[in-house]
Amino acid sequence: MTTGLIPGGQPPEPQPTGESMPQQRREPPGDTALPADNRPRSSVITARAAASFEPVGRSVATARSFVRDTLQGWGFADIVDDAVVLTSELVTNAVVHAGTHADVLCLRTEDGVRIEVSDRYPEREVPLQSSAVSMGSPDREGGRGLQLCAALATRWGVDYTPTHKNVWFQLDLPERPVGTRTAGPALPADLLPLADGRVRVAVLQIDRKGGISAWNEDAEELFGYPASDVIGKPLTDLAAWPHTPGTGTGIAEALQLSRWEGTYGIRRADGRVAQVYASHLRVRDTGGEPSTVCLLVRDHERAVLQSPPRVPAGDQSPSSDGQNTDPFEVFIGSPAPDDLDGLLQRTVERARDMLDGDSAFLLLATDDETELEVRASTGLPSARQRFARVPVEAGPGRYGSARMPAVHDDLAAVPGAVPLLAGTGMRSVVTVPLKVEGRLTGSLGVAAEAPGRYTNEEALRLQFAADRIALAVESARLGELERLRRGSLSFLVEASDLLAGTLDRDQTLALMAQMTVPTLATWCAVYTIADQASEPYLSYVLHEDEELIDGIKSLLAKIPPPDPVPTPGARVWTAPGEVAHQAALRSSMRSLGLSGGPTHRIASGIGPTLATASAVGGETVVLPLVARNRVIGMLTLGKPTDEHFRQEILELAEDLSRRAALALDNARLYSERTAISQSLQRSLLPPGLPQIDGVEVEVIYRAAGEGNEVGGDFYDLFPIGNGAYGFAIGDVCGTGPNAAAVTGLARHALRLLAREGLSGPAVLQRLNSAILDEGDRSRFLTLLYGELRPQKDGSAELKVVCAGHPLPLRLRQDGTVSAAAEPQPLLGVIEDLELYEETVTLDPGDVLLCVTDGVTERREGSRMLGDDGLADVLTTCTGLTAGAVAARIMRAVERFASDAPSDDMAILAMRVPGIHQLA
């Protein structure tokens, strides 16, 4: 849909091409001729909006909403109803009867609006009007669209092209006195709405990002926040608006509408929720920047802002029996609310006005018809009551039943007859059922503060109204339920994907909380149970306002955790709310000096406590986290003060808790397995490297594979005796736990055999036999083993055996690099090995570098680092310490390829310091 301004434009006018293209305007009944419309048509088009709708049934409602929103945004509320009716009929003709797309174009002029509806079925004929308009039978399926145009439009006509048929109509704005929009009759003083002293109107301005940019003095007085505390904050932080996935219109959507009126709550600075009636107007400044102006009054002072309902002219005069038309009979008139919440709220407001009550409420029945859920109210603390549940049979016999009309003259005489009104000050009430095909679907009630206000006559009037609205309410409820189910399914699919994507316990806990807040609850806490003998532990707390998390965490830490009951489903937990309110009360008394303590300013003394009490003061429920027939924790969900959970949200939370429990248990099992594996692997590494006088030693080790600390590569450096040290670096075929098992065998066997005084070749031959004795579990092994003896002259003597391993490299002080040993057969392949040892002397400043093949076989595509590449890097390490040499080699290996290493790597560098360094 596009909307734009076209200065100086002219509205396109249809050119008649024959008798089949009439131009009509309203004429008094009885006229037999339609005079031509010769008025000048020079109105300038100031704006246009267009949209196209598919040939499906739902497009009719979408087209109605498009025209309604467009005209209300232009300020043409006086002609919205007629335009919506005409558009509905014409779009129905196109998408339902003709089965084609419908293109709707709205043109704004100075005098009114012109709307064009085009379809792609031009063959249908147009009925000619040469006599008074006859609407025919109201039960006819078609043929009313053009007749309605003749009856309601100022002018109308039809244009034909070979491919399209375009029906247009124009509605002129009615003449009205300057400054008058709507007005009501003069009333006696005792019939005027009641206000508490001065009427305060809070004026808020909300920028395009949803932040508060203006906050007047009345807003500060009504809600307790100074402007400095709220400017820049999102309105959603203060608005008590229900969160329901897949249903309803949220505060963010309401702020985007051109106009909006309705009731919601604002969280006051003292933690309470103030019910307000709001009127929103979308505007833009001279720079084109949009914003929304919000006017808010206390809910019982709604008459200050509420637009009076538009009553058709014919309904304003008395009917034939002298009775005025019941105002409730027109409450579902155009435009009817598109969403269930809007329809229910309008119902209770009109029901209250119809019976001149002080409050009204509407409840919807659960699927089994055993309970009623509060869905809308007016004149009552609706935030506290919303989604609260009461049993259908609330009292003894017919008097307290919701299945038939009931009149209660004085609730003080029958305590508990209407649980919803307990503590509200209401004395008399009339309730009637909502039924569809004999099935109870809800209950509608109107209450007053005075006793004896209602009789059976009012009950019959209310029942008649309930019968008129019951089918529409049930239809809207089923639509909301379907949207909720679709939204719930999408929510659970996304949650399952997120939970399956991690095996980290802490991240799983965070995901659980983030998926529930704010979609399902205002705050949540996750308790975990390590084993059956352990007490539940508070592991994670989250609130939609991060500033309240610490307060809730501190509060819950002082409360015994809920019992780990494995029974499925949500159960109410009252302890947090009770303790929070007690703490707030004690803090308030201390701040007021009532407990002997110093007196402080209330705002600074009890602000955090009151905020915490308000945050957890609503309904709190606990769902068990059950996995593999064991309770592993509890998921606690909470609402702020006076709010309740709806049943659909609890059922969705139960589904989520089952998925989250399995993910949390998987993360626990994975963490335990990883901890055991890492503990065993760490036992395969040397406990530490010994300090060798006159020789620098540095080792860098990287094991391939997630969670592996030891793989197939290994190293060791250990004292043998008589000033000698054994060193080894090897590589077992393969990686992972199987290779690590051979690693443990090789490392421990080397230490044992070397300390027996055996030479290097003898040590490796016995190790070769031990590997072969493993049978099918044996793996071949490349190994560089040597003995190091520091010398008195500052050099070091090495005796090495290189059994199939990459050759050690010697770096001299002049930068030359050469191999320090000859290659010999590897271990674990043949039984009889002929091995020999070689002697190497490291002069002061020389470096001996030993690596595994994970270093030399580092690849990037077809390139490989290789022995030559390693030697080139080592050439640049002249003068570096052993640690610096090992670090430079590892850095060069990592930078050689962009991919993560696929093989284990070990680097052992030994360096004899220079003479000046020894000094």
142-156, 218-232, 558-572, 599-613: range with lowest mean pLDDT: 599-613
Strands 724-732 and 781-790: what pairing? Answer: antiparallel
293-307, 363-377, 755-769: range with lowest mean pLDDT: 363-377
Q: Is the pLDDT of residue 128 over 80?
A: no
Nearest to 15 by CA among 36, 34, 44, 46: 36
Find out whether 408 and 414 touch, Cβ atoms under 8 Å.
yes
CA 608 to each of CA 6, 223, 602: distance values in angstroms, whole numbers, following the listed order: 54, 16, 11
Count CA atoms closer than 13 A to 879's CA, side-chain side: 2
Q: Is the pLDDT of residue 504 over 50?
A: yes
d(CA 389, CA 891): 66
CA 10 to each of CA 108, 154, 333, 555: distance values in angstroms, whole numbers, following the listed order: 10, 18, 34, 68
Residue 21, pLDDT score: 36
Residue 804, pLDDT score: 92
Tokens of residue 145, six digits: 């669209």
What average pLDDT does the segment 33-38 reach?
38
What average pLDDT does the segment 735-745 reach?
71
Q: Is the pLDDT of residue 135 over 80?
A: no
Tell me the pLDDT band of 22, cut-offs 50, 70 and 90.
very low
- Give residues with Cβ within 8 angstroms of 397, minimum separation 6: none
Residue 322, pLDDT score: 44
Tell me the pLDDT band of 646, cut-offs 50, 70 and 90.
confident
DSSP assignments along 743-771, one per residue:
HHHHHHHHHHHHTTT--HHHHHHHHHHHH
pLDDT digit string (tens) for 819-842?
999 999 999 888 888 899 999 999
Q: Is the pLDDT of residue 70 over 80?
A: yes
Find out whether 295 and 201 touch, Cβ atoms under 8 Å.
yes
Where residue 278 falls (left for φ over 0; alpha for ψ -120 to 50; beta otherwise) is beta
What average pLDDT does the segment 452-466 reach?
86
pLDDT digit string (tens) for 317-342?
444 444 444 433 444 444 556 678 88
Tell me the pLDDT band of 495, cut-offs 50, 70 and 90.
confident
Q: Return the percentage of the chain with pLDDT > 90, whole number.
A: 19
d(CA 756, CA 762): 11
Find out whether 97 and 123 touch, Cβ atoms under 8 Å.
no
Residue 255, pLDDT score: 85
Count CA atoms closer than 13 A to 810's CA, side-chain side: 19
Residue whose token pair is 């990883």 = 674
What average pLDDT does the segment 759-788 reach?
86
Nearest to 346 by CA among 375, 389, 372: 375
What average pLDDT does the segment 626-652 reach?
84
Tokens of residue 890, six digits: 């590892």
Q: Is the pLDDT of residue 710 over 80?
A: no
d(CA 551, CA 615): 9
Find out whether 681 and 657 touch, Cβ atoms under 8 Å.
no
DSSP assigned state of 664: H
d(CA 227, CA 264): 21
d(CA 520, CA 514): 10
pLDDT digit string (tens) for 118-127?
887 765 544 4
pLDDT digit string (tens) for 749-769?
898 999 988 999 999 999 988
Nearest to 743 by CA among 683, 831, 806, 833: 683
CA 662 to each of CA 501, 508, 514, 665: distance values in angstroms, whole numbers, following the listed order: 13, 10, 17, 5
Nearest to 435 by CA among 389, 470, 479: 470
Residue 699, pLDDT score: 93
Tokens of residue 634, six digits: 């509890």
Q: In what order do the strands lie in the sheet with 696-702?
A: 696-702, 905-911, 847-851, 809-811, 817-819
134-148, 332-346, 359-373: range with lowest mean pLDDT: 134-148
What average pLDDT does the segment 769-786 reach?
83
CA 369 to each of CA 403, 431, 644: distance values in angstroms, whole numbers, following the listed order: 10, 17, 19
DSSP assigned state of 133: -
Q: Return the percentage of the chain with pLDDT > 70, whole number.
A: 79
Tell me the pLDDT band of 590, cut-offs 50, 70 and 90.
low
Residue 458, pLDDT score: 86
d(CA 732, CA 904): 10
Residue 310, pLDDT score: 46
Which amino acid, 79?
Answer: I
Tell me the pLDDT band of 748, cut-offs 50, 70 and 90.
confident
393-397, 658-662, 767-771, 844-848: range with lowest mean pLDDT: 393-397
Which amino acid, 27?
Answer: E
Look at residue 351 and give its three-state secondary structure: helix
What average pLDDT does the segment 399-411 reach?
76
Choice between 883 and 46, residue whose per-residue pLDDT is larger: 883
Q: State the Cα torsion 185-186-190-195 to the nearest 10°.
A: 80
Q: What is the mean pLDDT of the chain?
A: 78
Which amino acid, 515?
Answer: M
DSSP assigned state of 293: E
Q: Is the pLDDT of residue 161 over 50?
A: yes
Nearest to 448 by CA among 330, 325, 539, 358: 358
DSSP assigned state of 248: S
Residue 122, pLDDT score: 61
d(CA 283, CA 511): 39
In this structure, is the dihedral angle defined by the CA atoms of residues 248, 251, 256 and 261, taken in order, positive or negative? positive
Tokens of residue 656, six digits: 């989520």
271-280, 423-432, 606-615: range with lowest mean pLDDT: 606-615
545-554, 591-600, 640-649, 744-753: range with lowest mean pLDDT: 591-600
Residue 820, pLDDT score: 92
DSSP assignments along 184-202, one per residue:
-----GGGSPP-SSS---E
93-97, 282-286, 374-378, 656-660: range with lowest mean pLDDT: 93-97
Residue 144, pLDDT score: 54
Report for 25-29, 138-142, 181-185: range of highest mean pLDDT = 181-185
Phi and psi (nearest 5°) for 854?
-65, -20
